[in-house]
Amino acid sequence: MNPALDITTETETVRCTEKMRCGTARYDPGGGGINVARVIQALGGTATAVFPAGGTAGTHILELLRRRDSPTWPVWIDRPTRESFTVNELSTGKQYRFVLPGPAMTADDQERCLNALRGAAEGARYVVASGSLAPGLSPDLYQQVAELCATLGVSLILDTSGRGLRNIRSNVFLLKASVREIEDLMGRELPDDQTRVTAAREIIDRGITRMVLMSCGAAGALLVRADRAQRFAAVPVTGRSGVGAGDAMVAAVVTGLSRDWSMEESMRLGIAAGAAMTLTPGTEVCRIEDVERLFDTAPHPEAIEVQRRTPAS
């Protein structure tokens, strides 16, 4: 619901107030849902990207997707789609990411997006709702998406943060979030596996979701269900860019599930795809040969034992 035209370039050193000469810019269609759809396609799956588009940036995103033969369902809006800007500093290897808020959307824009989703999701197995909410959208938009998916009998995988995450109440099959995003939601720090699993189970107990996938950066990820919790170690790689790694993980997980793989094997594919995404420049999608190679070395999950607290009488 808030796509972006991703622009990536490089310069020797980033300095305050100085004019910095940059290399040739790379343009990619971006935003959580679009990234997920692109990686699913790269892995041999089929996904349709449903997104609002406006102005020159929105037209450019659609052109880039069509060049890649990516199925799309754009919803045209009056205000221009945002751009995001990433600069790689060659002297240090650091990456600087500048993200704009996005266009203000109207109630009519929102309704047309929901109607587009209703049409695109008819007969689908999964819907992935991913990314931030553009200004002007209802804070409970993703809850409306969840209810729409429940009506259609489609499983919803949700990857969002902020107000989109705070206003979800039910009907999510798999909730994916980072440790920081779960900390923001719960209003407390989660320094270790024990506290993270406990927080995830609180979310499950509220009836929000059946499973929580919590990304932990270099420490890998946790998969928490009501009856068990598992730790998936990261695959060590020397990456070039962290942009889109979480989206690649989600895309690979849903790809595995759509192939009727177990949740554990789908998660291992997700860990491999997330690592493979760091090997590509900017927001270029991961290469299937990298994903397959890293999947072969991805560790199997380790069970986490967490004692449930007994409510005080």
Q: Which two tokens stand for residue 54?
A: 């406006």
Instruction: Identify the bridge partners of residue 28 per DSSP, sorted by sequence position.
Output: 6
Catalytic residue (one of 227, 247, 290, 296): 247
Q: How far is CA 230 from CA 140, 267, 295, in A?
A: 30, 10, 17
For residue 282, the one-letter residue type is: G
Q: Is 247 a catalytic residue?
A: yes
- N-to-C CA span, the chain: 44
Q: Could you give the angle at the alpha carbon of 242 between the alpha carbons of 240 and 246, nearest 5°?
A: 145
> Are 253 and 267 contacting, i.e. CB atoms less than 8 angstroms apart?
yes
- Residues with Cβ < 8 Å from 254, sequence gap 6 or more? 36, 40, 45, 126, 128, 157, 266
Residue 148 is classified by DSSP as H
> Are 126 and 254 contacting, i.e. CB atoms less than 8 angstroms apart?
yes
> Are 236 and 217 contacting, i.e. CB atoms less than 8 angstroms apart?
no
Could you tell me how far CA 266 lies from the centroid of its own chain?
16
Residues assigned a catalytic role: 247
